[in-house]
Amino acid sequence: MRALNRKLLRDLWRLRGQVLAIAMVVASGVAVLVMSVSAIEALEETAQAYYERYRFADVFAGLKRAPQRLAHRIEAIPGVQAVETRITKLAMLDIPGFDEPVIGQLVSIPERGTPVLNQLALREGRFVAPGRVDEVVLSEPFAEEHGLRPGDHLKAIMNGNKRTLEVVGIALSPEFVYAIAPGALMPDDLRFGVLWIGREALEAAYDLDGAFNDVSLSLLRGAQVETVIERLDQLLDRYGGIGAIARADQVSNWFLMNEIEQLKTAATILPVIFLAVAAFLTNMVLARLIAAERSEIGLFKAFGYGNAWIGWHYVKMVVAMTAVGIVIGWGVGALFGRLNTEIYAEFYRFPFLYYRPGPAAFAIGAVVSLGASLVGTIGAVRQAATLPPAEAMRPPAPPVYERTWLSATWLGRWLDQPTRIILRQISRWPVRSALTSTGIALSVGVMVMANQWTDSINHIIQVYFYEAQRHHMAVGLVEAQSSTAVHEFERMPAVLAVEPMRIVSVDFSKGTRKHRGSLAGMVPVTRFNLIYDVSGQVIQVPPGGLVLGTKLAEKLGVGVGDEVFVEILEGRRPARPVRVVRLFETYIGMPAYIDIRVLEDLLRERPSVEYVNLLIDEAAEKELFAKLKDLPEVSAVMLRRAAVDTFRKTMAETLLIYIGFFSAFAVALGFGVVYNSARIALSERGRELATLRVLGFSRMETSYILLGEVGLLVCAGLPLGCLAGGGLAWMITTAFETELYRIPLVVEASTYGTAVLVALVATVISAALVRRRLDRLDLIAVLKTRE
């Protein structure tokens, strides 16, 4: 082996602490990228595969009642591949040992064979048997929440009759990756579940013999979804169709895709910023490391090694260091990516998991890291190599220290010598000092950026659930009831106040822009459902016009004063232009509000309610729950605290776990930077410090000189880091927007505090490690040899 290569290996071994610290910085960047990208890829692939394998339908439509033979006419629509007709109903459930009302989504399955579309992944037990009308297959998340297993029983009010059902199987369905109650914002597996029951049993229970009230279609490749939906809507119009939707608008899928989209945004922007920061730090650290090799470079030149040769030597050295980091980053990234994917898969309840990371993330991580290292190295080597060898071999000329205010003022007289050395050192190397502080600032900034999410989410919860929603619960009714229902609710136990609300499915359009969403009819002066602007302003819904969330207005390209074409997908399906009278900012969803009387007008209906918001006495809620359980017209019960729970859970289990991994990497990054700064400072100044020791300075004092400098630079970096963190957080929250959420920029003081604390702990640990080396400094050897 060539002597130079041997030197390389031994140097790497000698510098192993630093190699590891640099590797940590590199690895953090690479790992975050690999983890994020591969987990997202896996999530998307798994979802897609799940949909395909279990034949998730492309178009869904609900209707009142249609004869089974209509299925043939639906099949004949050009572009349709397969048709599955079903019966779906909502039912109030009674689960032993659970007080609160629970809503069940009943879905029919054939007693013989498997459904053509929206097939089930059986997890436990079996499917329903022919002729057994009391058998049910439960959705797994729901069954798990209630601890229900095959053999257990539950009750359901079906068409006014309370029936006891026996659980025979537990299953998952691509149709209910998220099981969201009609009108609910978030999935809540405790209070809403899917029950698959034999088709014949449901036909009998709801007097739907030979009929269906729900149809799903799969389409041929290349079929036009819009045209199929149009034809389908025409066919179903006579049978009380409420407007078919494409897979993209199917609630579970829409939610899932939104979540994936949101994770994807997080998993693209965060790692890119992170990788860039890691690359910058790698570059900085290596440049300084190589600069410290300057006298060795001079020596090689004195021997007659050419610049290219020397450059190649150091390139090999940093490539080796970086490669260690890259390999660690790949490994850790893939491991955490898999872990992350498993968490997602568990959360989304995929029956299987594809984790097959593509090469792109690995390659990008490696190339960016290597590039940054090489640029830093080559710059530093060039700087040393252009010097005549004689000059390079001399220790850098003793800097010219000028008498400054430091020595002149009272402050200067008051400072002791070691402190002066620190301050002079910093003022002598302003660029390098600034870079060190910048490095620390960036790692603090990344930590702030990561933790800011938690703050923002808490802020959303506060504003959305507590400030804007004053009521404790909302009750959805199976069908719009006459307004006397309000009084019925007022008389129920524990109810303090009632406010009605009406929510309808709506197609908004403006020119070619379209949005299928919902429109909420509000009482003119609402006390419960305050419409809060993000600025904290309460907005009243003026009579006669639409109040739109800005996100929706943006999507439709409208402003105040413009008209939006509103087509209500219920009742007589009225359609007409309505003027936008107000816009407001919101964090969640794309809401639209209108005066409930205007809505009734549009529907040409008598005053009616579909939702009631209740203010209740929570101490007495059990009685109310018991009462609600026996009401056949109740289709959904949404509790505010349950909604907060599920919101937290949805966010926590996906985004926040991801952010948790991310924070860990940010800590590694910060540690790597601080440790390297201290180590390089030690190697640069070992002689000077040993000399001071020989002159009689104590270990304490020499440590102070070295670590005091690092400490001071860290301290300078901290406020900068908080600023950088604020900036990065702003960048992210701006870039991070889905139809479902906007993330407000909220950074709590505690987030800054945590980041600062972590940086300080990293500093203390690095200092302790370097201090050990400093104490073991061999005075004679340092003074005898000139490095």
Partner 1 sequence: MTFSSKAQDPVDRPRVTLRAEALTKIYRTGEVEVQALRGVDLELFERELVVLLGASGSGKSTLLNILGGLDVPSSGRVFFDGTDITASEESALTRFRRDHVGFVFQFYNLIPSLTARENVALVTEIAAHPMAPDEALEMVGLGERLDHFPAQLSGGEQQRVAIARAIAKRPNILLCDEPTGALDSATGILVLEALEQVNREIGTTTAVITHNTVIGDMADRVVRLADGRIVQITANPRRRPACELAW
Ligand X SMILES: Nc1ncnc2c1ncn2[C@@H]1O[C@H](COP(=O)(O)OP(=O)(O)O)[C@@H](O)[C@H]1O
- Residue pair 377/315 in contact by the 8 Å Cβ criterion: yes
Kindly state whether residue 6 participates in binding partner 1, applying the rule CB under 8 A. Answer: yes
Q: Is residue 619 close enough to count as binding ligand X by CB under 6 A? A: no
Binding mask of the shown chain, residues 51 to 90, with x at each position contacting partner 1 by CB under 8 A = ----------------------------------------
Q: Which one of 304, 430, 511, 561 is in contact with partner 1 (CB under 8 A)?
A: 304
Work out which of 296, 570, 621, 709 binds partner 1, going by CB under 8 A: 296
Q: Compose the 587-606 pattern: x for residues touching partner 1 by CB under 8 A, - for all others.
A: --------------------
Cα distances from 754 to residues 157, 368, 757, 760, in angstroms, run: 52, 29, 5, 10
546, 726, 776 from 732: Cα distances, Å: 31, 10, 46
Phi and psi at residue 562, to the nearest 5°: -75, 160
Question: If you search the block for the tokens 């009943």, which residue do you land on?
Answer: 106
For 17-57, the DSSP string reads HHHHHHHHHHHHHHHHHHHHHHHHHHHHHHHHHHHHHTT--
Tokens (6 digits) for 391: 């000059």
Q: In 3-state terms, what secondary structure has residue 532?
A: strand
Q: Which is nearer to ligand X, 394 or 428 (CB)?
A: 394
Q: Which does 781 bind (CB under 5 to 8 A by kind): ligand X, partner 1, none?
A: partner 1
Return the number of the residue (401 or 730) whose C-beta is nearest ligand X: 401
> 242-269 burial string, b = 16+ CB within 10 Å, else e?
bbbbbbebbbbbbbbbebbbbbbbbbbb
Q: What is the largest CA-CA distance in the chain?
A: 103
Q: Which residues pair with 109 in a beta bridge?
A: 198
For residues 3 and 397, which CB has a smaller minimum distance to ligand X in the complex?
397
- Partner in contact with 10, chosen from partner 1, ligand X, none, beta carbon below 5 to 8 Å by kind: partner 1
Q: Which two tokens stand for residue 458?
A: 């808490």
Nearest to 654 by CA among 194, 356, 267: 267
- The residues near 345 (Cβ < 8 Å, ≥ 6 apart) are 43, 46, 352, 353
Q: Which is nearer to partner 1, 304 or 359 (CB)?
A: 304
Q: How many residues bind ligand X (CB under 6 A)?
A: 2
| Residue 342 binding target from partner 1, ligand X, none, CB below 5 to 8 Å by type | none
Give the span between the Cα atoms of 447 and 756, in whole angstroms: 9
How far is it, in rounded angstroms, from Cα 308 to Cα 381? 10
**Minimum separation from the CB atom of position 303 to partner 1 (A):** 5
| Residue 1 in contact with ligand X, rule: CB under 6 A | no
Determine which residue in the list 206, 305, 314, 662 makes contact with partner 1, applying CB under 8 A.
Answer: 305
Pick the closer one to partner 1 by CB: 535 or 785: 785
Q: How far is the CB of 379 from partner 1 (least distance, A)?
A: 18
Q: Which does 14 bind (CB under 5 to 8 A by kind): partner 1, ligand X, none?
A: partner 1
Q: Which of 1, 397, 431, 749 binds ligand X (CB under 6 A)?
A: 397
Per CB under 8 A, the list member of 2, 69, 413, 604 interacting with partner 1 is 2
389 binds partner 1 (CB under 8 A): yes
Number of residues that bind partner 1 (CB under 8 A): 30
Stretches 167-175, 284-292, 297-305, 539-547: which one binds partner 1 (CB under 8 A)?
A: 297-305
Q: Does 400 help bind ligand X (rule: CB under 6 A)?
A: no
Q: Is there binding between residue 16 and partner 1 (CB under 8 A)?
A: no
- Smallest Cα–Cα separation from 88: which of 234, 235, 177, 211? 211
Please tell me the distance from the alpha carbon of residue 626 to that of residue 95, in angstroms, as a whole number: 12
Beta-carbon contacts of 102 under 8 Å, excluding residues fewer than 6 positions away, are 92, 93, 94, 95, 190, 191, 192, 193
Based on the shown chain and the rule CB under 8 A, indicate whether residue 581 belongs to the binding site for partner 1: no
The distance of closest approach from Cβ of residue 434 to ligand X in the complex, given in angstroms and rounded to an integer, is 27
Stretch that binds partner 1, among 272-280, 446-454, 510-518, 778-786 (CB under 8 A): 778-786
Q: Is 741 left (phi over 0), alpha (psi -120 to 50) or beta?
A: beta
Site string for ligand X, 366-395 (x = CB under 6 A): ----------------------------x-
Of the candidates 544, 548, 529, which has an alpha carbon nearest to the alpha carbon of residue 466? 529
Distance of alpha carbon 294 from the chain centroid: 46
CB of 395 to partner 1, least distance (A): 11
Task: Answer yes or no whether residue 491 interacts with partner 1 by CB under 8 A.
Answer: no
Residue with smaller CB distance to ligand X, 397 or 695: 397
Residue closer to ligand X by CB (options 162, 394) is 394
Which residues are near partner 1 by CB under 8 A? 2-4, 6-7, 10-11, 14, 296, 299, 301-307, 309, 388-391, 393, 397, 400, 781, 784-787
Which residues are near ligand X by CB under 6 A? 394, 397
